[in-house]
A and B are shown apart, each in its own frame.
Chain A
Amino acid sequence: SPEGRLYQSSRSAEKMYKIDSHLACAVAGIMSDANILINTARLHAQRYALSYQEPIPVEQLVQSLCDTKQGYTQFGGLRPFGVSFLFAGWDKNHGFQLYMSDPSGNYGGWKAAAVGANSQAAQSMLKQDYKDGMTREEAVALALKVLSKTMDSTSLTADKLELAEVFVQPGTGEVQYQVCSPDAMGKLLAKAGLTQPAPEA
């Protein structure tokens, strides 16, 4: 969730990054370490696209990034990257995929995952409530519900959250990454019944 109302980011999302048109990730941990890895990921994805003239398969990108992370745990005497990632993307071989990685460089494919503060609680909640074949709206609602129950703050407002989706655009059939605007966020929270009721006038 964003740092607070004094924080002013020049980007559209604070903890979400687009790696390529079909691939995005969310970050938990040391942001400066994350920035380095995101840059590496973006370059790697573009170099693949330059050589093969097709978008990089999601697992390949995740694997290459995790190989970098692992290197820092075995060679050089440098400290590891203090970052966990959630990668979301689409490729033509396996469709939509979700991967989670941690500072050791370990990664796995998941149907639903959580990283960061209270991630164990979030993960167990997801384990209970996740169903196969959920629609996009149901997935968004579940994500918001889990986040609202595991976040430290008492109330949930649009400026404390970020939501991004990777989906197939219904008209063109292209894969898109879109960050939810604050207004749309407000509506989603209201629909999920998660906002505090307005104070009495």
Chain B
Amino acid sequence: PQIFEYNGSAVVAMVGKNCFAIASDRRLGVQLQTVATDFQRVFKIHGKLYIGLSGLATDAQTLYQRLAFKHKLYQLREERDMKPETFASLVSALLYEKRFGPYFCQPIIAGLGEKDQPFICTMDCIGAKELAKDFVVSGTASESLYGACESMYKPDMEPEELFETISQALLSSVDRDCLSGWGGYVLIV
């Protein structure tokens, strides 16, 4: 079985004007069978930092729990929240530790950094970071998502327009992918 296609997923993040949007589908499947339609793939790290994890669902949950652990300790010691850039490095390092037995996940990190500047990035399952200025996609529907985002995206969108754009991009892409869908979850910060 293809391990990245086992559960099915679609996650996308976009940059707007002093805001960001992160969205995911809601389906959890076991290959062709749908098992849940309310599965959470986007997790909060702190008020201005979110991570979306596509790929194998169990790895997504475990990875999130381990990251929450590390961030909690950072917060207790530093008495502040982690910056998105720093968090991205943390995720990358965590994934590379398992270089020869990886987590089957592709994370998307979205946050507001210094002076509320939006920050998004994605990485592969062993931690290769890819910073982007406009949008990042991952999951079984990623090819459709690339196409949809590329045509619908405009820079410096306000939150309301960003919401419309990311929702339309997500919904039209998952409709072309049998493994993801059953609604979407969109978060604008």
Q: Are A46 and B69 in contact (CB under 8 A)?
A: yes
Number of interface residues of B (CB under 8 A): 8
* Listed A/B pairs (20) with beta-carbon separation below 8 Å: A11-B79, A12-B79, A18-B76, A19-B76, A20-B72, A20-B76, A42-B73, A42-B76, A42-B77, A43-B73, A46-B69, A46-B72, A46-B73, A47-B69, A49-B69, A49-B72, A50-B65, A50-B66, A50-B69, A53-B65
Which chain A residues border B76 with CB–CB below 8 Å?
A: 18-20, 42
In the bound complex, CA of A127 to CA of B79 (Å): 35
Which chain A residues border B65 with CB–CB below 8 Å?
A: 50, 53
User: Chain A 48-72 against B: per-residue CB contact (8 Å), 1 yes, 0 no?
Assistant: 0110010000000000000000000
Which chain B residues border A19 with CB–CB below 8 Å?
A: 76
In the bound complex, CA of A20 to CA of B66 (Å): 16
* Given A11-B79, A20-B76, A47-B69, 4 additional A-B pairs, CB 8 A: A12-B79, A42-B76, A42-B77, A53-B65
The interface of chain B, by Cβ under 8 A from chain A, is: 65-66, 69, 72-73, 76-77, 79
Which chain A residues border B79 with CB–CB below 8 Å?
A: 11-12
Output the least CB separation between A20 and chain B (Å).
Answer: 8
Most chain A CB atoms below 10 A, which of B65, B69, B72, B76? B76
Q: Which residue of B lies closest to A11 (CB)?
A: B79
Output the least CB separation between A85 and chain B (Å).
Answer: 16
The interface of chain A, by Cβ under 8 A from chain B, is: 11-12, 18-20, 42-43, 46-47, 49-50, 53
Which chain A residues border B66 with CB–CB below 8 Å?
A: 50
In the bound complex, CA of A43 to CA of B77 (Å): 11
Which chain B residues border A49 with CB–CB below 8 Å?
A: 69, 72
In the bound complex, CA of A196 to CA of B79 (Å): 33
In the bound complex, CA of A53 to CA of B73 (Å): 15
Output the least CB separation between B144 and chain A (Å).
Answer: 34
Which chain B residues border A47 with CB–CB below 8 Å?
A: 69
Which chain A residues border B73 with CB–CB below 8 Å?
A: 42-43, 46
In the bound complex, CA of A187 to CA of B73 (Å): 33
**Shortest Cβ-Cβ A-B pairs, 9 listed:** A46-B69, A50-B69, A42-B76, A46-B72, A50-B65, A18-B76, A46-B73, A11-B79, A42-B73
Which chain A residues border B72 with CB–CB below 8 Å?
A: 20, 46, 49
In the bound complex, CA of A42 to CA of B79 (Å): 13
